[in-house]
Amino acid sequence: MKFITITVLFVFTQIYSQKADFAISNIPKELTENANGVTRVDEMVVHVKSKSEVSYRIRAAVTVFNKSGDRFIKDAVGFDKFKKINSIEAIVYNAAGIQIKKYKKKDFREKSASDGISLYNDDRVLYLDYTPVSYPYTFEILYEYATSNSLYISNWYFLSNYYLSSESSLFVVNYHPNTINFNIKESNIEGYGIVNKSTSGKIHYESSSLKALLPEQYSPNFSERTPMVHIAPTSFQYDGYSGEATNWKEFGKWCYDNLIEGRDKLPKATIEHIKNLTSKTEDPIEKAKIVYEYVQKNTRYISVQIGIGGFRPITAAEVDKVKYGDCKGLTNYTKALLNAVGITSYYSVVESGDEQIGFLDDFPSIEQGNHVILAIPNDENYTWLECTSQQTPFGFIANFTDNRNVLVVKPEGGEIVKTKSYIEEDNSQNTEAILTLDKDGNLKSNLKLSSKGTFYDSRQYLASFNQLDILKNYKKRWSKLNNITINTFEFENNKDQIQFIENVQLDANNYVSKAGNRIIFTLNAFNNTIEIPNRYKDRKSPIEIKRGFVEESIYTIYYPEEYTIEAMPKINNIKNSFGEYEISLHQNEDNSITYSRKFFVKEGLYPKEEYDNFRNFLSDAAIQDNAKIVLIKK
């Protein structure tokens, strides 16, 4: 479910700012540095005449330097039953700023914005799908639209992408203070020279000559780095329903009353069936698990966009009938089934994704969410359900909706609650292996890999792969092994303990290096995967480790009787504020070595000045992962 930009109904005169000269030579040199494109003009002017009459005027022109910058142009505009596009045109310019192509509204094609199997098809897109003939070029789009809804206005980004600088940006909202008012929250605007010219009845921000932001590994999300303005109405109208949003409780109450209430009715037969399924237990969590598994087995997910069908879920009765729905519909359906067996649960709006972007606890707005999950009260906490997946275990939300603020919608109002955080010990991967080296330097191994938390999330999908894809996955995972052959594999997906176990038997020919009567090989055959991040001459952002983890391995390595150990690697265990790395070696009497490894990385936010130390921590650990042992012939 995606809370896309609201639809509009719009009539507006074409009064655009003075025509710009888009010659490449006019771009200041500093804006071309580290940039794949430059936003020459980015303007949005909004007129809020009333809560039921809002008009928009958009102008956006981007100069694209290379193929990587093509994604910066805006060549598609969405609309639906609430939104009317009154005018739209696009113009393409060459490097000299000379117009080479102009598109009128009739040149834009129209298609459904749905995935082709959605319950609804009223979301549409006008698009060009423009393909450039040469670089550089400038693409300009101008359009006007309007809406009878005032639920939200899109936040304004002065820099909208990495590798994209901005020559000129303008954001204006005109309104009548006696009719409607807005909350404003500025983020990251210090040091960018952004000018606020707002007055009563007018929100006005502008900027010029902003250099491109560059991505940095282990940095906060883009939205936490880029200068932007959050905007939200304190009162609004959506589809004829008026509401207030001065705080989350008030806004959540409106959501419940107007979007959710009354949409949980189920057929009597379904109610009786789900009661029978859950009749053998009185434990509410066990009942909820049975309901959750019933939904997984009997429905499927069909869409990721909240715009399909608007903000309201389709009714539980309709999902029960057709057996599919988007996240709104499936969450509401699960909620209705739980209610039928006496279990309270709450429809909850979240910004999904691995970046852990949470709702602002002091800034109510519907634009902050793109997905819906379900919250079941469980003592002082909540059990969170992802209702769109047929594979996800009950109560598991790692990597997608974990550790962030969400809006829990209750009959009495909204509440901002933080979802479950998976701490380092929750995100674990244990590897047990028996490795046997023969006299020719070939390796045979039996492994058992146990994954939990975020590791579970990244590994459990193997169970749904075909054999060819599984083999490809293993060969990619252990690409440092020469001539690898996967002989057998077995999986155990324990959804109760949320643990995925892989038992793998493999061969790797020529694993060792030979030097005369010596053989040399790396002790860590299977967990040698630490990636060393880039260096930065001038690091801009703090270090953020979003999810900590722990890896533990224990290998028993058998080597040929004809050999004895000549040299063991020097052990350099590490412990600092970022985590720990330690290994141990033990020579056994049966021509074997026991190798143990623990790699622990702590979640946290660290000063940018510590980046070199963090990088050195990973680099030193990677060096230890490549530690080699030398055997010599007796």
Comparing C-alpha atoms, which of 243, 211, 204 is closest to residue 227? Answer: 211
Give the model's confidence band at 239: pLDDT under 50 very low, under 70 low, under 90 confident, else very high: confident
Comparing C-alpha atoms, which of 82, 78, 15, 90 is closest to residue 54? Answer: 82
Q: What is the mean pLDDT of residues 609-617?
A: 98
pLDDT at 268: 98
pLDDT at 122: 58
Residue 184, SS3? strand
Cα 88 to chain centroid, rounded: 32
486-502 pLDDT, tens digit per residue, is 999 999 999 999 999 99
Instruction: Give this prediction's pTM.
Output: 0.92
The one-letter code for the residue type at 564 is T
Comparing C-alpha atoms, which of 501, 502, 498, 283 is closest to residue 396? Answer: 498
Q: What is the mean pLDDT of residues 541-545?
A: 98
Query: Residue 235 in contact with residue 245, Cβ under 8 Å?
Result: yes
Q: What is the mean pLDDT of residues 328-356?
A: 97
Comparing C-alpha atoms, which of 503, 403, 380 is closest to residue 453? Answer: 403
pLDDT at 553: 98
Query: Residue 428 in contact with residue 498, Cβ under 8 Å?
Result: no
Comparing C-alpha atoms, which of 606, 598, 609, 499 is closest to residue 546? Answer: 606
Is the pLDDT at 307 greater than 70? The verdict is: no
Q: How far is 5 from 490, CA to CA, in rounded Å?
A: 46
Q: How far is 65 from 210, CA to CA, in rounded Å?
A: 17
111-170 pLDDT, tens digit per residue, is 876 544 344 445 788 999 899 999 999 999 999 999 999 998 999 999 999 999 999 999
* Neighbour order of strands in the sheet with 164-175: 99-103, 83-93, 137-147, 53-64, 37-50, 164-175, 202-210, 195-196
Q: Angle formed by the axes of helices 327-340 and 284-298, to 10°?
A: 140
pLDDT > 70: what percent of the chain?
Answer: 94
Is the pLDDT at 242 greater than 90? The verdict is: yes
Q: How far is 87 from 71, CA to CA, in rounded Å?
A: 23
Q: What are phi and psi of 202, to 5 degrees?
A: -150, 120
CA atoms within 13 A on the CB side of 517: 8
Give the model's confidence band at 83: pLDDT under 50 very low, under 70 low, under 90 confident, else very high: confident
Q: What is the mean pLDDT of residues 64-83?
A: 92
Comparing C-alpha atoms, which of 92, 109, 327, 353 is closest to residue 221? Answer: 353
Cα 335 to chain centroid, rounded: 25
**CA distances from residue 491 to 173, 427, 449, 494 in whole angstroms, order as listed:** 57, 19, 10, 10
Query: Residue 402 in contact with residue 418, Cβ under 8 Å?
Result: no
563-573 pLDDT, tens digit per residue, is 999 999 999 99
pLDDT > 90: what percent of the chain?
Answer: 89
Q: What letter does residue 368 receive in the DSSP assignment?
A: G
Residue 465, SS3? coil
Residue 378, SS3? strand
Q: How far is 273 from 496, CA to CA, in rounded Å?
A: 24
pLDDT at 249: 98
407-421 pLDDT, tens digit per residue, is 999 999 999 999 999
pLDDT at 114: 57
Give the model's confidence band at 303: pLDDT under 50 very low, under 70 low, under 90 confident, else very high: low
Stated length of the chain:
634
258-291 pLDDT, tens digit per residue, is 999 999 999 999 999 999 999 999 999 999 999 9
214-237 pLDDT, tens digit per residue, is 999 999 999 999 999 999 999 999
pLDDT at 19: 64
Is the pLDDT at 173 greater than 70? The verdict is: yes
Q: Please enumerate in sequence order all residues whose Cβ is within 8 A of that of 107, keeping only pairs 6 or more positions apart, or say none.
A: 128
Match 């701490």 to its residue by tokens.
423
Q: How far is 145 from 71, CA to CA, in rounded Å?
A: 23
Query: Residue 416 in contact with residue 361, Cβ under 8 Å?
Result: yes
Is the pLDDT at 28 greater than 90? The verdict is: yes
Is the pLDDT at 14 greater than 80? The verdict is: no
Give the model's confidence band at 523: pLDDT under 50 very low, under 70 low, under 90 confident, else very high: very high
Q: Which domains does the chain have, with CATH numbers?
A: 24-241 (2.60.40.3140), 251-418 (3.10.620.30), 424-633 (2.60.120.1130)
